[in-house]
Amino acid sequence: MGKSLFQKVWDAHSVRRLSNGQTQLLIGTHLIHEVTSPQAFGMLRDRGLKVKYPHRTFATVDHIVPTNESLEPYSDKLAQAMIEELRKNCAEHGIEFFDTNTGKQGIVHIVGPEQGITQPGTTIACGDSHTSTHGAFGAIAFGIGTSQVRDVLATQTMALSPLKVRRINVDGKLAPGVYAKDVILHIIRLLGTKGGTGYAYEYAGEVFDNFSMEERMTVCNMSIEGGARVGYVNPDETTFEYLKGRPYSPKGAAWDAAVERWKNFASDPDCAYDDVVNIRAEDIAPTVTWGINPGQGIFVDENIPAPADGKTQSEREGISEALEHMKFQGGEPIKGKKIDVAFFGSCTNGRLSDLKEVAQYLKGRKVHPDVQAICVPGSQVVAKMAEDLGLAQIFRDAGFEWRGAGCSMCLAMNPDKLVGDQLCASSSNRNFKGRQGSVTGRTILMSPLMVAAAAITGEVSDAREVFGLLPEPVGA
C-alpha cells in the first residue's frame, strides 16, 4: 500500500514520540509576523532560551502595516511598537526580516511562495491560521498558536498528533467566470465549516491539475475555513516551474536533485485515504456568502436561505442570527444588494494573477460613484510588478484606491476599516461579525472578478453578466 504526501512528509520530519503520546515533528520552515511572535520571543526571554535554527525562520510584517502611509513613525503608536518589536527580535536572534524597506515585505503567505521559501515535501509553521496556503506546493503547513511559535523558535519542533487525510477530487472543467475562490467556497458550503476537523485536505482532480500555483494557493488558503488545519496539492511540473529561479529556490545541480526529491513526495496512486469526496466542476457557479461564516455560501443567482430552510434547530438559529446581522430577509435574492465598499486583496486573492485576471475586464470601466473601492496588493513584489505591467494604472483609472502591501481590510488591524453597517464585497476569506473593523460591518466573500463586478455596478452582481462571460443562448 502506498502512502499519501501527508504521511511521507510526516514520516520524514518525525523526531520521536513524546511522553504525552504526541509526535515531536521537525518544522523545516518557520514564518513569523508581528502579531503572534512578540509574546513568543518574550516567553523565550523569560526562560533564557535562544532561537535554535535562526536560518530556518523568516519574518515579515503584514497585519498592522498601514497601506496609505509608508513613513515611520506610523500615526498608530501601537502599530509602530509592534513593527519595532519585530525588528528588534529579528536583529537579536539573527532572523531574516523582509522589512518594509526591502521591496519584499508583504502578507506572509504571499511572501513565502514568491521568495521560493515555500517548497514541496517540507513542513512549515506560522502563527497564523492561513498557513495552510503553503500546502499548494505539496508542503504540510500548520497554523499555530503563540506558545507553539515559542516551541518552534526554541527547538525547531512542535508536539502534534497526526491528521487523517480526505481527498477532494474536483473533475471536469470550470465554466468561464468561475474561479478557484468559487471552488473552495463551494467545498466549504458542501462539507461545512467544521467538516475538516481532524483532517488534512488533499485537493486533486483535473481542475487542480490545470490550476496555476496561485489558484492552488487560493484554495489551500481557505482550508481552515472548512475546519481543516492543513490543505495541500501534490507537487507537479506546475509547482517546479513556479519555483524555478526564485531567490530561495535551489540552484544548479541542487535544483535537479531537489526536483527528484519533490516528485517522490507526491501521494502514491495506490494510497488509501480516510475519506474521498468527488465534486463536478460543472456544478460550481460563482459563489458568494450571505451570512457570518464562510460556510454560509450560495451561488450568486440563488436566494438567501430563510430560517425554515435549516435542517436542525441550531442551523435555524444560525440562519436567523446571520440574517439579523446581515440585515437580509430569507428568500430574497442576494443579487442586487447595494454595496458600500469593494475590497480587493488578502492572502486569498491578493496575488499578481488575481490583478491580471481582473484588469483585463476592468479596463475602460468605472467604479460606481457610491462605492469605495480599494485594491491592496499582497506584497511589495506584487505591487511593483502590477505597476510595471500597467495593471495598477488600470485599477486607478477605474476608480480603485491603489494601496501599499499588507493585510489591510481583511481583518482591519490597521486604519482600513468598515464604518457602521457598511456592506463590503470582499475577496478575503472571513466574514465573521466585526471582522472588517466595525462591529456591525457586513462582509460578502467572493472571487476577485465578482468584487470588480460589484464595484462597477454598486451591487452584488453576476460577473459573468457584467463582463459578458455567459455563453450566447442557443438560437440567438
Partner 1 sequence: MALPKINQIAGRAVYVPGDDIDTDRIIPARFMKCVTFDGLGEYVFYDVRKNEDGTDRKHPLNDPKFSGATILISGNNFGCGSSREHAPQAIYRAGFRAVIAESFAEIFFGNSTQLGMPCVSATHDDIQALVRALQADPDMTVMIDLEMQRIHFGDVSISCEIRETNRQALVGGYWDPIQDLINGEEQVEAVANDLAYFRATAD
Contact residues toward ligand SF4 (CB under 6 A) are 62-63, 107, 109, 128, 130, 346-347, 407, 410-411, 428-429
Identify which of residues 257 and 432 has a Cβ nearer to ligand SF4 in the complex: 432
Identify which of residues 35 and 220 has a Cβ nearer to partner 1 in the complex: 35
If contact means CB under 5 to 8 A according to the sort of partner, which of ligand SF4, partner 1, none does residue 194 touch? partner 1
Residue type for 342, please? A
Identify which of residues 21 and 269 has a Cβ nearer to partner 1 in the complex: 21
Q: Are 421 and 440 in contact (CB under 8 A)?
A: yes
Identify which of residues 130 and 166 has a Cβ nearer to ligand SF4 in the complex: 130
CA distance 232 to 240: 15
Least separation in angstroms between CB 411 and ligand SF4: 4
CA distance 60 to 10: 27
Least separation in angstroms between CB 335 and ligand SF4: 26
Least separation in angstroms between CB 258 and partner 1: 7
If contact means CB under 5 to 8 A according to the sort of partner, which of ligand SF4, partner 1, none does residue 320 touch? none
Least separation in angstroms between CB 151 and partner 1: 6
Strands (E), 322-464: 341-344, 372-375, 401-402, 423-426, 442-445
Least separation in angstroms between CB 157 and partner 1: 5
Q: Report CA torsion sign: 419, 443, 457, 415.
A: positive
Identify which of residues 39 and 169 has a Cβ nearer to partner 1 in the complex: 39
Unique residue bearing C-alpha cell 439579523: 324
Identify which of residues 164 and 335 has a Cβ nearer to partner 1 in the complex: 164
Separation in Å, CA 344 to CA 56, 157, 428, 445: 32, 36, 8, 11
DSSP classification of residue 225: G
If contact means CB under 5 to 8 A according to the sort of partner, which of ligand SF4, partner 1, none does residue 87 touch? none
CA nearest neighbour of 427 among 343, 364, 333: 343
Set of cell numbers at residue 252: 544548479
Separation in Å, CA 411 to CA 200, 211, 221, 406, 429: 25, 27, 15, 11, 10
Separation in Å, CA 175 to CA 204, 357, 395: 18, 15, 25
Least separation in angstroms between CB 437 and ligand SF4: 11
CA distance 392 to 386: 5
Identify which of residues 362 and 411 has a Cβ nearer to partner 1 in the complex: 411
DSSP classification of residue 106: B
Least separation in angstroms between CB 130 and ligand SF4: 5
Q: Are 40 and 128 in contact (CB under 8 A)?
A: no
